[in-house]
Amino acid sequence: MAKPMLMQIEGRAGFWTVAALFGALLAAALGAAHYMETNGHVVTGMNNQIVWGLPHVFAVFLIVAASGALNVASIASVFGRSDYKPLAPLSGWLAVALLTGGLAVLVLDLGRPERLVVAMTHYNLKSIFAWNMLLYNGFFLLVAIYLWTMLQPGAQRWSKAAGSAAFVWRLILTTGTGSIFGFLIAREAYSSAVLAPTFIALSLVYGMAIYFVVLIALCAGSGRELGGAALGRLARLQGWFIVVALYLVAVFHLTNGYMAKQAGVERFLLWDGGVYPLLFWIGQILLGSLVPLAILWHPRLHGSHAAVAFASLLVIGGGIAQMYVTIIGAQAWPIDLFPGREAHSSFFDGVVHAYVPSVAELLLGLGGIAIAALATLAGVRFLRLVPQSASDAVLAPPAGG
Amino acid sequence: MSTGQQVNNGVGPVSFARRKVVGALAALGGVAIAPGLVLYEFAQAAPDAGKSTGASSKVRWGMLIDTTLCTPGCTACVDACRTENGLGPVTRATDVQWIRKVELKDRKTGAVQSAPVMCQHCAEPPCVDVCPTGASFKRADGIVLVDRHTCIGCRYCVMACPYMARSFVHEPITEQKTEVPRGKGCVESCTLCVQRVDRGSTPACVEACTAIDKGAMVFGDLNDPQSDIARRIRARASVQIRADLRLDTGVRYQGL
């Protein structure tokens, strides 16, 4: 096996062009956040029935993906596949970058973002949100230590311990994210413990997809070799992640559909709810899961950079669709205070709630991606995160592996 | 005093310029802390004035609504709430609504009913459980409130409330009542007119309903067996909305 060497990405014109594009997107997002903050959420599509809108869709997607971006590092450190070690630092850095982007969107979408310090100094420890704040901070810390063990000469002997701690933490973290919804008794579409493992499975898929896109783009942009066999092995694994996620999504909807009191919301989300069934079946299931699965498991495609990148972009799109259905679809379905009766009021009791996202919300959501992208670009530019070559010779599995 | 001296002792001799910087920082710190100290003094002084003894856990404030006496289309309670709390008229879908009239029709029999719905002041409030900063809280006497100083506007409580009782302030607020401080970007809901209750009065909605001889709403102490509300609940069956959630609401309904 050739000796892998980690190197910074060179600051060529293409690199700075991409950075400038994401910088412009971030500037637009900050402008949108300022506009929302100055005028209030009245300028968004949100209202008192749909209080979490498109920014939450992007934020939760990024936070869930952050946990999954650590996959490759975990494979190398925790599961002992040392052949993937050259790919691990990027995996850790990407996890931190995605979490930063997601959290930034959450904060900027707060009604009072300037009170972030209040959120950091006042903890209601019964709140899953408060737990999540502790979990996010712990994740930053553990992954930072993990990265240090990978990048600091002589510290590698701590890598497995740090990687294992980060791996366990990421499972807890995503359990926490799923539980933000799973613990809500008010909404018929939630209130299920299955949401926590479902979110973990989805995180494996989304994080891996983003990692593929970033790795392939970085290698292509910097002229580095990326072996088809190594990529193919990871692509096949991603296929299994997709299968596990599909299974849990199926279990979630089947259990909900089986319960008479929740059959209405299931019918709404999966059949006659307008945009939501469309996003679920076409976005999440067909384009976001089945088509990528076919590509990733296709014997002639799973080693192809273009095919894996395309499949990964589909998965990312499907992930956004899934979050839209999970977060907004669930709120659109009316809360039934009086079972067995038709209800109507000035506060929209008994009717499906409408939501049309505004441009400002979209820009703020995309701003999270811009932050994650800029943080990633800064990392690969100034730190040695990417191998000089990720050829099949460099990433060859150990004998018998 | 002084922060500056402590820092100097720790690092040995320092230049004049550094002393000036440290001194300026100490002075800046003093300026920043001083107003807080003054406010703290005021806050500490308040109980001594004997004006407030705080909420008592011996009391459980509650409300009983008799829907058989509530007229469909009547909004006396809603109007009184908006006036009392300075909420202004509802002109947009995003406007806050602390209390609303829900018109009901039985799907099988077609029976029509009308019921005012507001924060149910649960003994086990989901909004309080989920609030990350503790801004949503329950007073000892059972009234569920939002601390407008620590609400960060995350809206998790709106997601968690099974009664659609909470509203998010979507716009800047210009005309507020002194007793009912409000603000853009925070969540709010029915306070049971806590400012009136603490003066020994009843919520504005109850007063308005009584004033037009409806008497559909009764306010009182659920813990006091001699109170009107307790006697009425003993005499005739009442229900809690979504009783299956076992939140032990302070607002009860008869006739539903």
Q: Does A42 touch chain B (CB under 8 A)?
A: yes
User: Hey, are the CB atoms on B132 and A119 less than 8 Å from each other?
Assistant: yes
Residue A392 resides in a domain = no
| Domains of chain A: total | 1
User: Does residue B43 share a domain with residue B75?
Assistant: no
Tell if the CB–CB gap between A47 and B171 is shorter than 8 Å.
Answer: no
B65 and B153 fall within a common domain: yes
As for the ipTM of the complex, it is 0.94
Q: Is a pLDDT exceeding 80 seen at residue B14? A: no
Domain with residue B202: its CATH number is 3.30.70.20
Domain total in chain B: 2
Q: What is the pLDDT of residues A36-76, one digit of tens each?
A: 999 999 999 999 999 999 999 999 999 999 999 999 999 99
Please state which of the ranges A142-146, A282-286, A315-319, A392-396 shows the lowest mean pLDDT.
A392-396
| Average pLDDT for B208-220 | 94
A38: CATH: 1.20.1630.10
DSSP string, A172-241: HHHHHHHHHHHT-SS-TT---TTHHHHHHHHHHHHHHHHHHHHHHHHHHHHT--B-HHHHHHHHHHHHHH
C-alpha distances out from residue B237 to A282, B29, B106, B234, B241, Å: 50, 61, 20, 7, 13
Residue B37 has pLDDT above 80, yes or no: no
Q: Mark yes or no for CB contact A130/B105 under 8 Å.
A: no
Are the C-beta atoms of residues A312 and A292 closer than 8 Å to each other? yes
Range of the domain at B210: 61-254
- Show Cβ contacts of residue A234 under 8 Å, excluding neighbours closer than 6 positions: A72, A208, A212
- Provide, as residue numbers in chain B, all residues whose Cβ is less than 8 Å from the Cβ of A332: none
Is A391 part of any domain?
no
In a domain, A341, yes or no: no
**Tokens, residue A205:** 């898929």
| φ and ψ at residue A252, rounded to 5 degrees | -60, -50
Nearest CA in chain A to B91: A346
The pTM of the full predicted model, rounded to 2 decimals, is 0.91
Per-residue model confidence as pLDDT tens digits over A359-385:
999 999 999 999 999 999 999 999 999
Q: Which of residues 141-200 of A touch B (CB under 8 A)?
A: 180, 183-187
Inter-chain touch A123–B134, beta carbons under 8 Å: yes
Beta carbons of B80 and B207 less than 8 angstroms apart: yes
Q: Does A123 touch chain B (CB under 8 A)?
A: yes
Please judge whether A133 and B132 are an interchain contact, meaning their C-beta atoms are less than 8 angstroms apart. yes
Q: Give A128's contacts in chain B (Cβ within 8 Å).
A: 130
> What's the average model confidence in pLDDT over A315-334?
98
Q: Does the residue B206 lie in any domain?
A: yes
Q: Which of B94, B128, B153 sits opposite A110 (nearest CB)?
A: B153
d(CA B140, CA B54): 9
* Predicted local confidence at residue B138, as pLDDT: 98
Is B19 a residue whose pLDDT tops 70? no
Chain A CB contacts of B184 below 8 Å: 40, 111
Is the Cβ of A52 closer than 8 Å to some Cβ of chain B? yes
Are residue B19 and residue B143 in the same domain, yes or no? Answer: no
Instruction: Judge whether A121 lies within some domain.
Output: yes
B130 occurs within a structural domain: yes
